[in-house]
A and B are shown apart, each in its own frame.
Chain A
Amino acid sequence: MKRTTILFFLLLSITAKLFSQELNLGFEFGLGSYKMQDLKEINDNNLNSLPFDARVTDNFPLYYYYKPSLMFSISSAISLGIAWSYHSTGSRISLVDYSGEYAFDTRIRSSSPAVIAEFSYPVTVFRIAFSNEVGIESSTADFNELLRIGTQIEKTNDIFKSVNVYYEPALKIKYPLAAFRFDLVLGYHIDLSEENLSKSDNSKIHLQLSDNRLARANWSGVRLGAGISYTLFKRAVSPKELGK
């Protein structure tokens, strides 16, 4: 955690001192897989404790993520920038029959500001880039339980939150076309710190697992996406800089 924080502020300070040559506004969209092993375990425990035979119909599946970014090219090979990503997934335990319905829904989402350092190299008409993204993800897990017998309905709702630091390396293939660049992205999201989920209105209340561990939101997983960026500004450079 300490190492990650130092790295984050180092990147920020470099970005502030460097003079950019190109300003690109980008948007990345893709699919992410999410580990969420603790929340899956909560589902398993819940399923085993139910007196009836329910099933898990959604179990934290692959789901879309969105990531807008603002990148500064400080040279033809190095770009620095900031990004904000948004992930969500969830699960459901369900049983429906003539007598009623049971559903235990978990919705979890994360909102993550980050800094990016990208190193790219031209290969024919493409550029191959290696991206390093470090950010802070704020997770919100929303648990909803519903039981309906006939016309009688019982609902409960609990919201838990946590804040973690993550690192996401990614390999990008870029294709520039006029003022646009099109990207294909393959990355892996790693949660560097895993803070326990705590209740939104009382941080002393945590989700406890059967082995007495406290549950955490783990967003680790593969990210496969496509992006598009647009060059907003481009600055002229000196011959000396060109000679380089």
Chain B
Amino acid sequence: MIRPEPVVELEDPHVMKLPILCAKLCLAASFLLGILMLSSCEFEPVGKYFDTVEKPAGDAPVNIELNLMTDTINYYWSSSLNMIIDPGKLKVLYVKYYLDENEITGTHTGGKYSVLLSFNKPEIHKFRFTIFINSGTGSLADKLNAEGYKFESRVWTLVGKQTYISKNLTAKIVNNQLEFSWPVYDGPDYQNYRFREVSSGNTYDFTTTSFILSSYVGESGDCNLYVVDNAGTEHLWGRCTLNKSLPALKIGSINNNVILTWNKSIFKDKIAEYQIFESDIMTSYKLIATLSVNDTSLVIPLLPNSFGPLRSYYMYCVPGNASYITDTSPFRSYLEYVKIVLPGPYFINWEGLSASGFYFESYNQVTGKEILYKYQTGTDKVVSIMNHVFCTSFSPNGNYMLVPRDSMLDLYETGNYTIVKSINLKQLSQYFESTGSPKVSDNGICVLNANYTLYAYDLLNNKQISFKRMDPAKLKISADGKYFCITRYDSLLVYQINSNSITFLAGHKKPNGAIWDEDYDFCPDQPDYIYLYESPNLLVMSSRDLSIVRNMQLSPWLFNIDFTTHKILTASNATTFNIYDFYTGNLVQSVVGMSGDRNYTLLNNNTIFRCDYKFILRSNK
């Protein structure tokens, strides 16, 4: 039998009894509760660092330099307001600009502050600004830019004005010197004026409102005047164009030699010398004479076999102050030069070419009128014949001139330009309004289009001959009034005017392309013949049946035929004229060195006129 081990109960005052246990548990609970309360007492930072800075007192010593000196400022362009702020030991926090109470953005570099004031149109604005400067106390607020001094500017009135550039700069000659003057610039941001010669680029800076261009010797050119602002930017303040006051070079002939003449310049004291340059078009310009400022003419002998006086002459006025010459080439110098090539009449469309000259119409910009001129071969002059003329046509040999005016047709006699007959075309047709392009023969027979009808009319006797229904077409009439022709694209149609009828005679179709107006006509001195140019062939055909009488091969471009000399002016390429005989088709003369323009070239009495220039044919083969 196993007996259990005896257990010794230890005598311990701490052995628990139930009531004591409960008390202990309560004690433990209170203990834990106290711990929890203690645990809520965590670390709390309490230290504070007090800085003993002092509050600001009084105004900050700040200097402001500003370029707005008056309450009202005139503005002519976008301009900068510039300001220098010196806050001493303090610091500018920011500057706020207000245009019409709207804040605008400015810039600054160091102590220089700037704001661009720009306006789209002339109008009035209000402008002010505010400057904030720190207090400099070193306080917390100061360091955070939250404390400082505030400066309020006054309010400026900005008046936007328009610049009258074309009127601002004027030039006049005073005591043989060219003096410029201009109104004072009364806006802000001004540093100086700057005068610039556009052609040379020479500039002159000054602060006065007038300027004498001492180097001026009469050249033409453009001059600009600028206002330079403090940033060095140029603003155009005035502009003027100088008309040429150089000696006017003229050309003439004396004993078959060319003579160049010119007048004395009022600026001759500033001209060192005259230099005459010559070019025969194929070669570059060469200096042929150096003359003193007192000379007024130069005779140039011509070579006997040269192709006329086909020369260009330049007279170059060498300025006295040679330092202004910026280029050794006289033609690229700042100085304008005079260019002369035997001048001829300027014409666009010509009519009535005859031995005595030819007619042309030109618009006169001064009078605003279309004027009929005549170039007179004998006198080598251009004279005006009459005003307000359009679609004037001449009879084949120039006896009569037909001038349409509304529904009237005026027939002039070309001897003294008096009206022979004046016909009211309303009597032909009530629908007649436009004269189209009526043509008249040397005996007063007229053909014209109206209301899809062709009329033949005897102007001298004031009676209608006949009419024929047909579509409108460009007309040409023979010198004797027996025939007229029209074209339909590539076909030439010839009609006969009988005493009371109009009869179709024949037609000819051009094999390659359209027939142009200048490619065909009746021969003025041989009305039974008509010519047609089918490049490069010139056909001379019978007016009655269009049978070919002659077929001549010419150059590929036909200008016109001078029936006074029976010469045909053609061109083989862009630089060579070829002149043929109308009867034989033989090449008479070949002229190299003149570019041809089909619409602006005609031959007359051994002279070729082209674009304002005249070339005399001196050596005929």
Could you list which residues of chain A lie within 8 angstroms of chain B, going by C-beta atoms? 25, 27, 29, 51-55, 57-58, 61, 63-64, 66, 68, 86, 88-92, 94-103, 105-107, 109, 147, 149-150, 179, 230-234, 236-240, 242
Complex contact A57–B45 (CB within 8 A): yes
For the complex formed, measure the closest distance between the CB of B149 and the CB atoms of chain A, giving whole angstroms.
Answer: 14
Could you show 14 A-B contacts with beta carbons less than 8 Å apart?
A25-B31, A52-B138, A54-B49, A55-B49, A57-B49, A61-B43, A68-B31, A89-B43, A90-B43, A90-B44, A97-B52, A99-B53, A105-B45, A233-B16
Judge whether B50 and A57 touch: CB under 8 Å. Answer: no
DSSP majority for the B interface?
loop
Cβ–Cβ contact B10 & A236, under 8 A: yes
Q: 8 Å CB contacts to A: which residues of B26-75?
A: 27-28, 31-32, 35, 38-39, 41-55
A96 with B50: CB separation less than 8 A: yes
Decide yes or no: A99 and B45 within 8 Å by CB, A66-B38, A231-B14 being known contacts.
no
A100, B51: Cβ atoms closer than 8 Å: no
Closest A-chain residue to B47, C-beta based? A57
A107 touches B12 (CB 8 A): no
B143 partner residues in chain A, CB cutoff 8 A: 51-53
A102→B139 CA distance, assembly (Å): 11
A34 to B: closest C-beta gap in Å: 10
**Besides A27-B35, A149-B141, A236-B9, 5 new A-B residue pairs in contact (Cβ under 8 A), listed by A number:** A29-B38, A89-B43, A90-B45, A96-B50, A107-B45
What residue of chain A has the Cβ atom nearest to residue B15's Cβ?
A: A234
CB <8 Å contact, A53 and B45: no
Are A51 and B144 in contact, CB atoms less than 8 angstroms apart? yes
* Interface size classification for chain B: 35 or more
B27, closest chain A residue (CB) = A230
Contact, CB under 8 Å: A179 / B9: no
Tell me the bound Cα distance from A68 to B28 in angstroms. Answer: 11
Are B45 and A92 interface neighbours, CB within 8 A?
yes
B237 to chain A, nearest CB (A): 49
Q: Is the CB of B48 within 8 A of A94?
A: yes
Q: Does B146 contact A (CB under 8 A)?
A: yes
Distance of A144 from chain B, by nearest CB (Å) = 9
Quick check: A98 and B48 within 8 Å, CB to CB? no
The A interface is mostly helix, strand or loop, or mixed, namely strand
Given the interface pairs A57-B47, A149-B141, the reply to whether A238 lies near B7 with Cβ below 8 Å is yes
Complex Cα distance, B48 from A101, in Å, reads 9
Shortest Cβ distance from residue A81 to the other chain B in the assembled complex, whole angstroms = 14
B146-158 vs A: 1/0 string, CB under 8 Å?
1100000000000
State the B residues within 8 Å of A (CB): 5, 7-10, 12, 14-16, 24-25, 27-28, 31-32, 35, 38-39, 41-55, 137-144, 146-147
Docked CA distance A101–B142 (Å): 12
Q: Contact at B43–A63, with CB atoms within 8 Å?
A: yes
Q: Chain B residues with Cβ under 8 A from A179's Cβ?
A: 14
Q: Is the CB of A100 within 8 A of B27?
A: no
Q: Which residues of B contact A63 (CB under 8 A)?
A: 43
Tell whether, in the assembled complex, residue B140 and residue A95 are in contact, meaning their CB atoms are under 8 Å apart.
Answer: yes
Kindly provide the distance from the CB of A75 to the nearest chain B CB, expressed in whole angstroms: 16
**A234 and B51 within 8 A (CB):** no
- CB distance A88 to B144 under 8 Å? no
A147 to B55, CA, bound (A): 19
Give the nearest-CB partner of A61 in chain B.
B43
Enumerate chain B residues within 8 angstroms of A106, measured Cβ to Cβ: 45
| Contact across chains for B49 and A52 when beta carbons are under 8 A apart | no
Q: Is the CB of B51 within 8 A of A86?
A: no
Partner of A100, one of B35, B47, B137, B140: B140
CB distance from A158 to the nearest CB of B (A): 16
A230 to B30, CA, bound (A): 13
Task: Report yes or no: B47 in contact with A92, Cβ–Cβ below 8 A.
Answer: yes
Nearest chain-A residue to B25 (Cβ)?
A: A232
Enumerate chain A residues within 8 angstroms of B25, measured Cβ to Cβ. 232
> Residues of A contacting B9 with CB < 8 Å?
236
Closest CB in chain B relative to A39 CB, distance in Å: 12
B55 to A98, Cβ gap below 8 A? Answer: yes
Q: Is the CB of B140 within 8 A of A86?
A: no
Taking CB as reference atom, which chain B residue is nearest A232?
B24
What A residues does B47 contact at CB under 8 A?
57-58, 92, 94
Give the residue of B35, B38, B42, B52 whose beta carbon is less than 8 angstroms from that of A109.
B42
A239: which of B8, B14, B49 is its contact (CB, 8 Å)?
B8
User: When A66-B38, A92-B47 are in contact, do A98 and B7 touch as well, CB less than 8 Å?
Assistant: no
A91 proximity list for chain B (CB < 8 A) = 45
B35 to A, closest residue via Cβ: A68
Are B141 and A150 interface neighbours, CB within 8 A? yes
What is the distance, in angstroms, from A60's C-beta to the closest C-beta of chain B?
9
Once A234-B15, A239-B5 are accepted as A-B contacts, the answer to whether A99 and B43 lie under 8 Å apart by CB is no
Which chain B residue shows the least CB distance to A89?
B43
- A88 vs B38: C-alpha distance when bound (angstroms): 12
The 10 A-B residue pairs whose C-beta atoms are closest, nearest first, are A57-B47, A99-B141, A92-B45, A88-B42, A52-B143, A55-B49, A99-B139, A58-B45, A88-B43, A97-B51
Tell me the minimal C-beta distance from A55 to chain B in angstroms.
4
Taken together as a complex, chains A and B put the C-alpha atoms of A51 and B146 apart, in Å, by: 12
Decide: A97 and B10 in contact? CB cutoff 8 A.
Answer: no
Residue from A68, A107, A234, A237 in contact with B14 in the complex, judged by beta carbons closer than 8 Å: A234
A232 to B44, CA, bound (A): 35
With contact pairs A94-B47, A99-B142, A149-B146 given, residues A238 and B5 touching in the complex (Cβ less than 8 Å): yes
Interface centre among B7, B46, B54, B143 (most CB of A within 10 A): B143
The residue among B32, B54, B137, B139 with the most chain A CB atoms within 10 A of its own CB is B139
**Which residues of the partner chain A approach B32 to less than 8 Å between Cβ atoms?**
68
CB pair B31 A149 closer than 8 Å:
no
Cβ B51 vs Cβ A95 within 8 A = yes
User: A147–B144 Cα gap in the complex (Å)?
Assistant: 11
Q: Give, as a whole number of angstroms, the nearest-CB distance from A31 to chain B.
A: 12
- B51 to A53, Cβ gap below 8 A? yes
Alpha-carbon gap, A35 to B8, bound state (A): 53
CA distance A107 to B43 in the complex (A): 7
User: Which residue of A is nearest B40, CB measured?
Assistant: A86
Please report the C-alpha to C-alpha distance between residue A226 and residue B43 in the assembled complex, in whole angstroms.
Answer: 19
CB pair A86 B15 closer than 8 Å: no
Q: Contacts of B142 on A, CB cut-off 8 Å?
A: 99
A107 touches B38 (CB 8 A): no
List, in ascending order, chain B residues with CB within 8 A of A64's CB: 41
Q: List residues of chain A with CB within 8 A of the CB of B138.
A: 52-53
**A102-B39 Cα distance, complex, nearest whole Å:** 29
Inter-chain CA distance A105–B44, complex, in Å, is 9
What residues of A have a CB within 8 angstroms of the CB of B52 in the complex?
Answer: 97
Residue of B nearest to A91 (CB): B45
Q: Is the CB of B144 within 8 A of A149?
A: yes
Q: In the docked arrangement, what's the CA distance between A28 and B141, Å?
A: 47
CB distance from A113 to the nearest CB of B (A): 13
Shortest CB distance B449–A (Å)? 96
The distance in angstroms between the C-alpha atoms of A161 and B134, with both chains bound, is 41
**Chain A nearest Cβ from B16, distance in angstroms:** 6
Q: How long is the Cα–Cα vector from A100 to B147 in the complex, in angstroms?
A: 11
Q: A27 contacts which chain B residues (CB < 8 A)?
A: 31, 35
Q: How far is the CB of B471 from chain A (nearest CB, A)?
A: 93
B140 adjacent to A236 (CB under 8 Å): no
What is the minimal beta-carbon distance from A27 to any residue of chain B, in angstroms?
6
Cβ contact within 8 Å between B42 and A97: no
A83 to chain B, nearest CB (A): 11
Q: In the complex, A96 Cα to B53 Cα: how many Å?
A: 10
A91–B28 CA distance with the chains assembled, in angstroms: 35
Which residues of the partner chain B approach A96 to less than 8 Å between Cβ atoms?
48-51
Q: How far is the CB of A84 from chain B (nearest CB, A)?
A: 9
Closest to A142 in B: B42
User: Contacts A97-B140, A107-B42, A109-B43; is A232 near B28 (CB within 8 Å)?
Assistant: yes
